[in-house]
Structure 1
Amino acid sequence: MTYVAKEAVSSINSNPAFSKKNGIKCFLLSMVIALSSCGSSRVYQGKELAIAYLNNSNAQHNVREQEVTGYQVRISYQINGSTTVSGMGVPVTERLIVTADHVVRNLTVGQSVDVQMGEIGKLSKPVAAQLVMRSPEKDLAYLKLTQHVLPRNAVPSWCDNHQLGDKVSMTKLSGSATLTVASGTLSGITDRPRMTDSFNEKAANNGVEPNSMLDEPVNFVLLHRNMQGGFSGGAMFSVNNNCVTGISSMVASFNDLAQPQRYESVKEALNRKYWSQNSKVLAFGIPTKTILQYAKGL
């Protein structure tokens, strides 16, 4: 199912089957992952995931993948009058923008940030947006433009009809408007995994403590190559369906998982000979359903 602009939020109220339908979908996808450790299904799931990964990683970045840049904004603000903090955000409506909470961890509700739209080589003039909600336990935050409205075509379609094996693209814009593109293969929708103590401690120092959010649903994507910081809060864009499936929250190595046995299909894929040795990296994102639920009433 695909949702557009304001209809993305209002559809949850107008369609009572939304929660039930998508709850069942997320449950079934989680069961696929859990059951993949049983008998031949473990080998089948791992093989299929590895093949999808291979096909997706060999495909060249195309125009559609870079289109996601037009559906994002660059968020920046200063702390102590000197250090600039930046991240990405995605419009939910023409005025409401969602980002990862740890991007704005230094701020309190009511404070302002600068928001810029952009494309390769060009950023718009900064406009002000007010922080209207923070949810650290979900790594979600929302900003509202105070005096400006985004153009209608800057608001992406949001969708929840992605499937395992879909190619997902992520981009970020620097302060100099250079574009960095990352991509991966959607490998599951499940509860946020427990991480090792060392990883959790390091992440907590950066504003997000994953082991305090274990009941929260996440998309997880096997990256085709490692990606650096700056993608947080940006769109996870389904290339197959031309829509946003969630926003980026955290990147981790498979070895950072405290319970890797829960992800047997991923482990099976990692063990296959055509898996790139430097691509054992997972990106975790907050799914569309959660984002739209918390956007209601803002």
Structure 2
Amino acid sequence: MNRDNQTKVTEFFLLGLSGESEQEEALFGLFSWIYLVTIIGNFLIILAISCDRNLHTPMYFFLANLSCVDICFSSVTIPKTLVNHILGSKSISYEECMTQIYFFITFINMDEFLLSVMAYDRYTAICCPLHYAVIMRPKLCVLLVVVSWVITNLHALLHTLLMVQVTFCSTNAVHHFFCDPYPILKLSCSDTFINDLMVFTVGGLIFMIPFLCIIVSYVYIFSNVLKLPSTHGIRKALSTCGSHLIVVSLFYGAILGVYLHPSSSYSVQDTMATIIFTVVTPLVNPFIYSLRNRDMKRAIRKLILRIRKI
């Protein structure tokens, strides 16, 4: 079909998670609560780390960056969903959708890179404790974060520019609560070979590099831990990795469940898995890292006491 003769889509309709009004009301309340707790929880972690000099270490520097990314990640998808519900609308303009795709790709990849950097930090702390301060110097920590931001933004820009070249015709209903690139691309009525190729090559590379870094880091960590003479040393070493492993398992488990299986349509299971890494993971990260960490709990208590005194 001649592309010039096609009616271009100027907006998409986000059908959400349920077509029933009662369930939509319940989901609105749930998403509002989740978003509020996510923002407060991650913001408290950032403030606690910033205000406590004892937490000015590489591990907490990366954790503060992860909390910042989680706030942004949640803000990409949830607010638009809540606003649409309040206005009684399901539409999102073409420009807003492309913007949402750009930031969604940026922050999901940034989460992956930060989790891999945190795994490397744990590897250095456990396997090279005597050289930890020399290896994880402040300049290297900042460089790792900056490089991660540059790579993720370039990757998001590539896919967004390719998405803009795609033509959307009469079908503009998205069975999702935000503009996820995967179901949006399925609505195209033009050739998406280049898009699919970039997803499997560049996208696959961006996904696999951080994932392999995490796997390799923990292979070395566990092999080193098993050589420790005492069970107390083993428990202490593993406790420093417990929170990170929980977050990695939750985040990557959901992503693998959605994007690495053959499917011609976006199922309910895919949507629920997407909710886990876009909504649930940013929510539980503050609790996982604070409840399992004495230093974080102490810093948050001190911060709350300061706030009460103001």
User: TM-score by structure 2 length?
Assistant: 0.24
Q: Which is strand-richer, 1 or 2?
A: 1
User: TM-score by structure 1 length?
Assistant: 0.24
Which protein has the larger Cα radius of gyration, Structure 1 or Structure 2?
Answer: 2
Q: Which is helix-richer, 1 or 2?
A: 2
* Higher RCO (CA-CA < 8 Å; seq separation 6+): 2
